[in-house]
Amino acid sequence: MGADALSDVLRTVRLTGATFFDVVAAAPWAAESPPREMILPKILPGAEHLIAYHVITEGRCFANIVGAEPIALEAGEVIVFTKGDRHVMSSSPGMRPDPGAPSALDAITGGQLPFFINYGGDGPMAKLVCGYLACDARPFNPLLENLPPVIKAADPQDTDTGWLGQFIRLAMMESADKRAGGESVLAKLSELMFIEVVRRHLEALPPEQAGWLAGLRDPFVGKALSLMHGAPAHNWTIEELAKQVGLSRSVLAERFSDLLGLPPMQYLAKWRMQIASGLLSGGSANVATVATEIGYESEAAFSRAFKKMVGAPPSVWRRRVRPDA
């Protein structure tokens, strides 16, 4: 049941694939991703959150957030930096690029995707497929809040037939053919890859793990999340949710709070504001219509709740994110 809530969050936070790179590197080599504040305005102006990924298609290399321990990577593996932290990819652990080395910013020149980058000397070769994704982070993105800064995933099957192998094969075919609509296809492939990485991370969580993702996996809390996500405007009560999921009111409230760190009704209020922010920033609906759509009986009540949670009235929020509105 919880998978519906994951799909709902992914849809509502507007996950978007962006720039795509085909990297060929021969040791010794090192490449550093610039800070998210420098990358986002170049590839997705107006986006709030940056996610970086690297798929190793040939050879081996190392990756690390600047200042953190290196992580070894081999062909068929993918590493995702979920917070867009500044990080280094290199042929050996502990390396940093020369000041004049080419970077992702240098490659983004407005040409057709993918951008091609070559690094290094005459040592062992590594090939990578790299890119960025973006999504909304405010006012409430429970997925981002519960992902670790780095996720490493491997294809459990043969790299030609497994999920990662299929991504690599399709991405490289689309890159080579340069057909009409290729940029959109590459962006969607990146989004699908990220979703699969998140699903595998969810499946691998230890039993004692808490957080939103752990709540999705719990049969009772996951069902409660699905119910609220399926009908956010419904006048839910803890009693009704408990009856629907087959627990007592007190047990559901305790179980929900232990896993997610907040009560069910508070979660619902936060999720309603996430939906409202999307409607305000992405459409032409007036405040009264948005209020009705997420379950508030009056515009005034919605405006008070929105300002309390988000820090600004709905109309002010809309002007901030859509100056043309």
Mean pLDDT calculated for residue range 67-89: 93
Mean pLDDT calculated for residue range 16-44: 81
Tokens of 134: 């973006």
The widest CA-to-CA distance across the chain, in whole angstroms, is 68
pLDDT surpassing 50 at residue 148: yes
Neighbours of 195 (CB within 10 A): 14
Q: Which residue has the higher pLDDT, 11 or 183?
A: 11
Mean pLDDT calculated for residue range 255-274: 94
pLDDT surpassing 70 at residue 142: yes
pLDDT-based confidence at 3, cuts 50/70/90?
very low
pLDDT per residue as tens digits for the range 195-240: 888 888 888 888 888 899 999 999 999 999 999 999 999 999 999 9
Q: Is the dihedral of CA 182, 185, 191, 197 positive or negative?
A: negative
pLDDT-based confidence at 116, cuts 50/70/90?
low
Q: Which residue has the higher pLDDT, 55 or 281?
A: 55
Q: What local confidence, expressed as pLDDT, does residue 324 receive?
A: 59
Average pLDDT of the chain, as a whole number:
84
Mean pLDDT calculated for residue range 37-52: 80
Q: What local confidence, expressed as pLDDT, does residue 19 receive?
A: 67
pLDDT surpassing 70 at residue 193: yes
What domains can you pick out in the chain, each with its CATH number?
A: 14-203 (2.60.120.280), 213-321 (1.10.10.60)
Q: Which residue has the higher pLDDT, 247 or 43?
A: 247
Residue 279 CA to residue 194 CA, distance in Å, equals: 25
Mean pLDDT calculated for residue range 105-123: 62
Q: What local confidence, expressed as pLDDT, does residue 20 receive?
A: 73
Question: Helix, strand, or coil here: 133?
Answer: strand
With CA atoms as reference, report the closest residue to 238 among 229, 251, 230. Answer: 251
Which stretch of 76-80, 172-176, 231-235, 321-325 has the lowest confidence by average pLDDT?
321-325
Q: What local confidence, expressed as pLDDT, does residue 17 receive?
A: 76
Task: Report the predicted TM-score, pTM, of the whole model to 2 decimal places.
Answer: 0.84
pLDDT surpassing 90 at residue 301: yes
Q: What local confidence, expressed as pLDDT, does residue 268 receive?
A: 95
Q: What local confidence, expressed as pLDDT, does residue 156 receive?
A: 59
Chain-centre distance for alpha carbon 282:
19
pLDDT-based confidence at 1, cuts 50/70/90?
very low
pLDDT surpassing 60 at residue 127: yes
Q: What local confidence, expressed as pLDDT, does residue 103 receive?
A: 65
Tokens of 148: 């670790």
**Share above pLDDT 70 across residues of the chain, in percent, rounded to a whole number:** 86
Query: What φ, ψ does residue 165 adopt, rounded to 5°?
Result: -60, -40
